[in-house]
Amino acid sequence: MSAPDPRKAQMILDLRRGGVRDARVIEAMERVPRDLFVPEAFRVRAYENVALPIGRHQTISQPLVVGMMTEALDVGERMKVLEIGTGSGYQAAVLAPLCRRLYTIERHKALLDAAEKRFHALRLMNITTRFGDGSKGWPEQAPFDRIIVTAAAVDVPPLLIDQLTIGGVMVIPVGDDQHDQRLLRVTRTADGVETKDLGAVRFVPFVEGKAKNY
């Protein structure tokens, strides 16, 4: 049996100190090898509580933010989840064991190809990927019980709200400036939406339009 990784142990301690309490979320993050999802040059920092570059001007979010967003999503094992912005695939790898089916969209083909290889290596069989414009969601598979957006939108996209079930939840960073973004938990109700502010965050901008085939 291999010795426990002290870097991962420190990451879990940071999660708990940062307020992540859900045992299922902590267990999922403990199981996922975060170093597999970062470029080789940054692997020594894989378990630090920092965001790291992954190419194409994108980042892998810091572990505490991943933990907070996953906990806020409150995913059940029978739920269908949509992720906008696959990136490295780390957030998807954390979510996959917690839900029935995960659909994830990425607009950078190179990032998606690399993420798909990681999913295969980890035998995450309940993830379905799509290369394309995430701002349109995935109407063919809607409605979703949960939606998570991993880039900051100027406002909550109505198209994505429409793809939630009644009672469904979306977690999304909102703000048009990297220094003034808020993480929102949006619940769709029969009469509209209810929104809860979860605090300040910093994400790359949510980009609409043609996907990048490189």
Domains of the chain and CATH, by start: 6-201 (3.40.50.150)
Does 173 score more than 70 pLDDT? Answer: yes
What does the mean pLDDT of the chain come to? 93
Query: Can you tell me the mean pLDDT for 147-154?
Result: 94
Q: Residue 98 pLDDT > 60, yes or no?
A: yes
State the pTM of this model.
Answer: 0.94
With a cut of 60, say whether residue 214 has pLDDT above it: no
Predicted local confidence at residue 207, as pLDDT? 80
Q: pLDDT per residue over 101-122, tens digit each?
A: 999 999 999 999 999 999 999 9
Q: Is residue 181 pLDDT above 60, yes or no? A: yes
Determine if residue 30 is left, alpha or beta; phi over 0 gives left, psi from -120 to 50 gives alpha, anything else beta. alpha
pLDDT at 1 over 70: no
Q: What single-letter amino acid sits at 205? A: P
Any idea of the CA torsion for 32, 37, 38, 43, to the nearest 10 degrees? Answer: 40
Confidence of residue 213 (pLDDT cuts 50, 70, 90): low
Q: Is the pLDDT of residue 132 over 60?
A: yes
List, for residues 44-62, the tens digit of each pLDDT value. Answer: 999 999 999 998 888 999 9
Q: Are the CB atoms for 54 and 60 separated by under 8 Å?
A: yes
Residues whose CB is less than 8 angstroms from the CB of residue 20 and which lie 6 or more positions away in sequence, other chains included: 26, 64, 67, 68, 71
Asked if pLDDT for residue 180 goes beyond 90, the answer is no
- pLDDT > 90: what percent of the chain? 85
Q: How confident is the model at residue 208 (pLDDT cuts 50, 70, 90)?
A: confident
Band the pLDDT of 83: cuts 50, 70, 90. Answer: very high
Separation CA 90–CA 115 (nearest Å): 8
**Dihedrals φ, ψ of 210, to 5°?**
-60, 135
pLDDT of 178: 67
The per-residue pLDDT for 209 is: 64
- Predicted confidence (pLDDT) per residue in 7-40, tens digit: 999 999 999 999 999 999 999 999 999 999 999 9
Instruction: Write out the catalytic residue numbers.
Output: 61
pLDDT for the residue numbered 87? 95
Predicted confidence (pLDDT) at residue 183 exceeds the cutoff of 90: yes
